[in-house]
Structure 1
């Protein structure tokens, strides 16, 4: 049975957790947006505050008691990406869901006492030389490229930490790991970003951002052994996706009409799977396995709010209880009220 068919059968058999949770408020306003700065431009004190908050999330015990394999609050965040993997990659959901995912992280660091804005990484400033970026400083950064056969991160504030989610759809504890390759990082440069956000439609921007600087950034970092399902185990993932989110926000800012432009499928086409890999879902299962019954039992309905296979502004996104549900409409404008930030 194809993976999508298995998913559909099991979703019909269990209630969608996402549909049972409260939804985000929709009538707030944004008068003083937080400023998200690149890692290059924040003080050493603020960097250490962010790193401390992330370390706190990574070492705090899990709270939801429903996500398979999760032992820490960080594991719950990584599990969220794992559970949604086939809904939020090579689909219309990619950009809005990852924007919502950053807000989920924002809530978790606030639990740990962090009150500032989320940082991001302006990768255009390090294109072609990621390994020399201040992001990977051993004291005021995330540590560098990993060591040994597993590329385990051995320096910096996250040295020797264990991630319990992954690889793929499994839950087998492994070290936090990454492997930096400068060659690929050249394609996160200014000219590549400009090209990625030059299209006139959401479909064009979505494909160009996903297949361009987003994908090449991941290839340059090989976070969690380059595992597309659980690469968010590495906290650098969120700086990278801040960069991705900024590209979408910059594309949207070119025309107010784009704040309501959305579309695409809301779950992967089995024949395609992840567009960066050949062979479709069944071939990819050789790399990552398939979602277990336990994972499928907590997987939200990919068509929630849409009433069909096309993504709409009414689509309901879920963090499975970490923060309230939100619709795609809620996250379309980064200064729309539900969200209140800007990139500088």
Structure 2
């Protein structure tokens, strides 16, 4: 009864919309999976192509007209994370939804001419000293740590870009910013990763990944002023979440049964909110506000596909609000299952 009440409170807080099942994508066959390689090992030519495609997304005019404040296709991607933030963090949908979001990002990159495997950042190779990573190269990387009081990134290919979504549930133009703390990056070490993927159940694993290298990586990078709602305004976010997705894929690879194992709430418990912050949703809203009326109007019903319950199931429907077609969680469980077709190397 208590968990059902929590779900109703979430729905009342963020608003709902019905996801049209007619838009749900179905899998094909995966016969030639693309290779997802760490940025360390990506060729200079492919790094240039990736960065160019990312800049293309950031300059392309918004198409969907659904995310409040969005002026570019990049803003729409950031706005998607903003609108769904209370459903895709500290819940059972955390890992599958971010895998789906990586897929949506890859789709936009493809439209901008990048057709290689989606790169990720193997943070274990730089743990304890993030700042020297090739990821932060000023020419073939994402630029370094931010400068000044605003922590704007002042070198690299994204130094002059404006993100129009955030902070929190607002829409205020701001720079791409981050602040690297090397000492905190030690929590993304190989031993930390192995600890995070050692649990035997999905419920334990997603929590260990979420509160371990995922969270500590975010803290060590402080992307977009460490804003949990719109941290994907920094292109580095997708490198970090490729690392997170690889952890889940490595956990799944230990047992074939894990390709169908899912659990957890499909929206935050209002009394808990984000696991990493105290006080629940209302207390946390003092940091980033509440979703606006416009946001609530396009916020999906978190129970869609879960037969009206508050537990995440394989039938759970995930939406990108039109960036790519909706799909069920079942379709993205296997990175080589057909709907997805990639592997980490």
TM surpasses 0.5: yes
Which residue number in structure 1 is paired with residue 332 of structure 2?
A: 331
CA distance, structure 1, for counterparts of residue 193 and residue 110 of structure 2: 31
Q: Is the Cα contact below 8 Å between 2:11 and 2:301 reproduced in 1? A: no
Could you give the per-residue CA deviations for residues 232-279 of structure 1, whole angstroms, max 9, x where no partner exists? 000000000000000000000000000000000000001100000011
* Displacement of 1:5: 3.1
Which residue number in structure 2 is paired with residue 293 of structure 1?
A: 293
Which residue number in structure 1 is paired with residue 255 of structure 2?
A: 255
CA distance, structure 2, for counterparts of residue 6 and residue 36 of structure 1: 36
Shift >4 Å, 4+ stretches: none
Q: Is the Cα contact below 8 Å between 1:3 and 1:282 reproduced in 2? A: no
Which residue number in structure 1 is paired with residue 37 of structure 2?
A: 37
Q: CA RMSD in A?
A: 1.4
Kindly indicate whether residue 316 of structure 2 is the aligned counterpart of residue 315 of structure 1: yes
CA distance, structure 2, for counterparts of residue 296 and residue 228 of structure 1: 18
* Displacement of 1:8: 2.9
Which residue number in structure 1 is paired with residue 3 of structure 2?
A: none
CA distance, structure 2, for counterparts of residue 38 and residue 144 of structure 1: 18
For 2:85, what is the secondary structure of its paired residue? coil
Which residue number in structure 2 is paired with residue 117 of structure 1?
A: 117
For 1:86, what is the secondary structure of its paired residue? helix
For 1:77, what is the secondary structure of its paired residue? helix
Unpaired segments ≥5 residues, structure 1? none
Q: Is the Cα contact below 8 Å between 2:176 and 2:224 reproduced in 1? A: yes
Could you give the per-residue CA deviations for residues 190-219 of structure 1, whole angstroms, max 9, x where no partner exists? 000000000000011101000000000000
CA distance, structure 2, for counterparts of residue 94 and residue 40 of structure 1: 26
CA distance, structure 1, for counterparts of residue 221 and residue 77 of structure 2: 20
Q: How does 1:151-300 map to 2 (within 5 A)?
A: 151-300=151-300
Q: Is the Cα contact below 8 Å between 2:185 and 2:220 reproduced in 1? A: yes
Q: Per the alignment, do residues 11 and 23 of structure 1 end up closer, same or farther by CA in structure 2, a change over 3 Å counting?
A: same
Q: Is the Cα contact below 8 Å between 1:3 and 1:290 reproduced in 2? A: no
CA distance, structure 2, for counterparts of residue 21 and residue 177 of structure 1: 39
Q: Is the Cα contact below 8 Å between 2:10 and 2:267 reproduced in 1? A: no
* Displacement of 1:7: 3.6
CA distance, structure 2, for counterparts of residue 190 and residue 99 of structure 1: 21
Which residue number in structure 1 is paired with residue 344 of structure 2?
A: 343
Could you give the per-residue CA deviations for residues 54-108 of structure 1, whole angstroms, max 9, x where no partner exists? 0100111000012100000000000000000000000000000000000000110
CA distance, structure 2, for counterparts of residue 212 and residue 305 of structure 1: 29
Which residue number in structure 1 is paired with residue 59 of structure 2?
A: 59
What is the total number of aligned residue pairs between the two structures? 339
Q: Is the Cα contact below 8 Å between 1:152 and 1:160 reproduced in 2? A: no
CA distance, structure 2, for counterparts of residue 117 and residue 10 of structure 1: 35
* Displacement of 1:10: 7.0
- Relative to the length of structure 2, the TM-score reads 0.96
* Displacement of 1:25: 1.7
Which residue number in structure 2 is paired with residue 48 of structure 1?
A: 48
For 1:87, what is the secondary structure of its paired residue? helix
Q: Is the Cα contact below 8 Å between 2:165 and 2:171 reproduced in 1? A: yes
